[in-house]
Amino acid sequence: KAGVTQTPRYLIKTRGQQVTLSCSPISGHRSVSWYQQTPGQGLQFLFEYFSETQRNKGNFPGRFSGRQFSNSRSEMNVSTLELGDSALYLCASSPTQVEYGGEKLFFGSGTQLSVL
Amino acid sequence: GDSVTQMEGPVTLSEEAFLTINCTYTATGYPSLFWYVQYPGEGLQLLLKATKADDKGSNKGFEATYRKETTSFHLEKGSVQVSDSAVYFCALISDTGRRALTFGSGTRLQVQP
């Protein structure tokens, strides 16, 4: 069974640009969550999608957005990039919404975004 | 809001040494508690969990006991191996409010042969 796949693995952008990250969940998983990981702030929850609907959202500005497609694949978009957006972005999939089974999260290897 | 505090790393140990990584939490209600591990270049993997007070989670020789009176969930292993070198994250999910995983800052463990 294939794991959670995130693409691309590395990304370099400049300030002001926008970026789209992709996540393919484990087959059969309907929930996709996104986290930002930085050395200073650790792992911070961005949002969770389940059945194409955003079910939960963290405390990030509106520049961070996401969506989920009918095949459960998810994309995350960051507009008007800032230097502080440099981070490892992790995607995690789950067969159910996280609040009903947080231990069933499976993480991808992440996309390392560098903003110059 | 919910929060998780972990001891700062890195923690450097020799092979076969005893490991303790401290974790304390603040949460409303009765959270479920987790330890995740991140090996170099990989995503996080669930290591163990406990869903109610006095529960002990265990896996691969690691153990942690949910202590509600001290709001703690310390990770222990009796004899570490070089292959245990990784970053360990304590996390919780509350049963009230915004029900998403809240992670600690992570503790890097380095085991030397």
From the list A42, A90, A103, which residue is nearest B104 (CB)?
A42
From the list A42, A56, A90, which residue is nearest B100 (CB)?
A56
pLDDT of residue A1: 64
Q: Which residue of B has its CA nearest to A46?
A: B100
Burial B69-92 (b: 16+ CB within 10 A, else e): eebbbbbebeebeeebbbbbbbbb
Burial B12-41 (b: 16+ CB within 10 A, else e): ebeeeeebebebbbebeeebbbbbbbbeee
Query: Could you give the percent of chain A with pLDDT greater than 90?
Result: 78
- Decide if pLDDT at B99 tops 80: no
Summary mean pLDDT of chain A: 92
Residues of chain A contacting residue B104, judged by C-beta atoms under 8 Å apart: 42
Q: Which amino acid is at A58?
A: G
Phi, psi of A27 (to 5 degrees): -55, 130
Are the Cβ atoms of A109 and B49 closer than 8 angstroms? Answer: no
**Within a 13 Å sphere around the CA of A88, how many CA atoms are in the beta-carbon half?**
20
Segment A49-76 mean pLDDT: 95
Chain B contact for A56 (CB, 8 A cutoff): yes
Chain B contact for A65 (CB, 8 A cutoff): no
Segment A88-111 mean pLDDT: 85
Segment A25-39 mean pLDDT: 93
pLDDT category at A105 given cuts 50, 70, 90 is: confident
Q: Which residue of B has its CA nearest to A98?
A: B100
Look-up: residue for tokens 């930085």? A38
pLDDT category at B97 given cuts 50, 70, 90 is: low
Chain B contact for A4 (CB, 8 A cutoff): yes
- Decide if pLDDT at A53 tops 90: yes
Chain A contact for B113 (CB, 8 A cutoff): no
Are the Cβ atoms of B34 and A103 closer than 8 angstroms? Answer: yes
Comparison of pLDDT for B9 and A52, the residue scoring more: A52
